[in-house]
Structure 1
Amino acid sequence: MRVAIIGGTGYGAVELARILKMHPYAELTTVISHSQSGNSLAEVYPHMTGIIEQSMKTLDVKALSKTIDLVFFATPSNVSKEIVPEFLQYGVTCIDLSGDFRLKSPELYAEWYQAPAAASVYLDKAVYGLSEIYQENIKKAKLIANPGCYPTATLLGLIPIIQKEWIDPNSVIVDGKTGVSGAGRGLSLNVHFSEMNENVKAYKLGTHKHIPEMEQVLKQEANTDIQVTFTPHIVPMTRGIMTTIYADLTESVDQVTIQQLYHEFYQTQPFVRIRPEGILPTTKEVYGSNYCDIAIHLDKRTDKLTIVSVIDNLVKGAAGQAIQNMNIINGWEETAGLEHPPIYP
């Protein structure tokens, strides 16, 4: 299968390229980058020397559509919404790693992204690509809205118990930590070494674009309106997401029962690993992989549940999940090209 990447110079794009190089059924034939047109990916990322050497190109939708079957968008917000409709007209499957098609409400998108939304017909057509939860819809999709990194970790941690109605959905508090690669490759004082090293920063309190994304999915799963308290932090590491989720129990259930719920919920999902009681995951244990590791702790003294969920933000939180969705769409084994274990230490 012939695939292309649009937006070829970001961290998400180079992760897509790395994983696709090992994929048994898909071939990366084209990388599009207006800013680096004429240069090879290896000139921008020297670690790709001898691996991916073809020159990047400027975008010609009609010409590209004749040579590919599927396109990944690794673009900033407010870019893919202008280009995806053209590819869909030519029958090309689109997987968008930006936030342009995640929110179903144009008004909500305009409020949180400070820009006009994509046309409603495409927002309605887009399938939210949380691979473990929406597989049946993904199988039939021509347009995938790949989830954000924080929502991926948070939603995989919450959905089993939200569906079971064992917690108060409006008691949910999410404490998120991300490595600096989540901020992208662009220069920024916020991630300057002297500013970031030996430092932890909370940011975008109450204004992070992933808040409405999480609330939209949780509302769908709980069949009730939900408001989430979300505090993201940037920490001095390159990769990784950890979300520590707190919620109030509404049912009298014990730790063993909750553990069993999660084990049964994800027993057929190859990339979600539920930790035994008392064993907490770390970001290093999923580094470079498509795994999401989850641990549950019930505090009987307070009747509060704590869920710890970790992913690699560039793999399960972006490129890996996008390729997992490509596998689902094409009826391939879900693990194709994604079976490499985490890098440790």
Structure 2
Amino acid sequence: MDEINPDGVPRKVLFVAGAGRSGTSTLAGIVSRLGMHVPLPEVPPDDSNPRGFSEPQWVVDVHDEWLAEALVQVSDSRPSAWFDTGRICSREPARIRVSEWLEPHFDVHPELVVKDPRLSWFLGLWRVAAIRTGATPVFATMLRPPAEVVGSKQKYYANKLGSAHLAASWVNMLLHTERATRPTEGAGSRVFVRYEDLLTDWVKTTMALGHALDLQTIVHTRSDQIREVHRFIDPNLRRVNQTLADLGLPTRLHELTAETWEQLTRLADPDQGADSAEIHETFDQLRAAYTDLYEEAEAISRSTEVHARLQGKRQLLAELEDDTHGRRFADMVPHEVRAAIPPSVRRGVRKALGRERADGQ
């Protein structure tokens, strides 16, 4: 008999996905208090989330590493960013690394919960890694009105990127999260959870999640664990209330954001039986429409991109030219290093710095 798992509960990994500030920490905090295991160590609480994140530190660190390599932001509005992270997801060493990290945590508990706002960028990798450990991956995507997500990020993260960018990144994130979590053979189920439902009646919402995903820890939770969650839940967590109209978005982005939210809320309503081929096609059309909108915006703003690149080049040249120690930058480079640089390259650098030599020098 397995002392860790005497009841023979099948291995499962609950992946809690969704945009940051959507209630992912609340859901992960609930299921962990009901007995599911968040691999340790966890990310410590901070002022933006004083009740804790329920995020494994290792997961956050590896996601930061991969996002930096892919040159992708956590809130990235570029549709092409998914191709950049997708290349990492397809790497065999990355899949092995994640599955080897997951494996020993099943010695603690057969049902794990993995949550991180960066998770959606690498869901394909995590799905494969979980299956390789003999676990069934299941998915819960948190849904919060996009205007509230934007407002919460601006309030708690001092985000200066602007409402249009944050709304666009929300659309980009949620449309691709929907696509990445669609059920496939042998890959488990998914649910979509409205943040408002979780705060209004967490017991009903969480128990429905447990039954839908066949999470034995949730289905057979104890009364003392339920009391602990009651102490954890703060009905006033929803401190930002605003609408899309308050964001002043460009018309087409406003329409796409509203339509995406409407379709996602259908997925959160099991009475509609919404997780069907028909709604999948609708989401595919929304992703295509968003890609078209983004490409149009890129084409129109090309001059801004070029200007920013030129500004960056000018700043770099100014920093190279800056003589903080009373010496030219070139004088700070050892002679043997300068001697190894081809003459044509040295001439190019001097030209860029405006220090071309007269003929014969």
TM-score band, normalised by shorter chain: under 0.3
The one of the two structures with greater contact order (alpha-carbon pairs below 8 A, sep at least 6) is 2
Greater helix content? 2
Q: Highest CA radius of gyration, 1 or 2?
A: 2
Structure with greater strand share of residues: 1
TM-score (norm 1): 0.25
Normalised by the length of structure 2, the TM-score is: 0.24
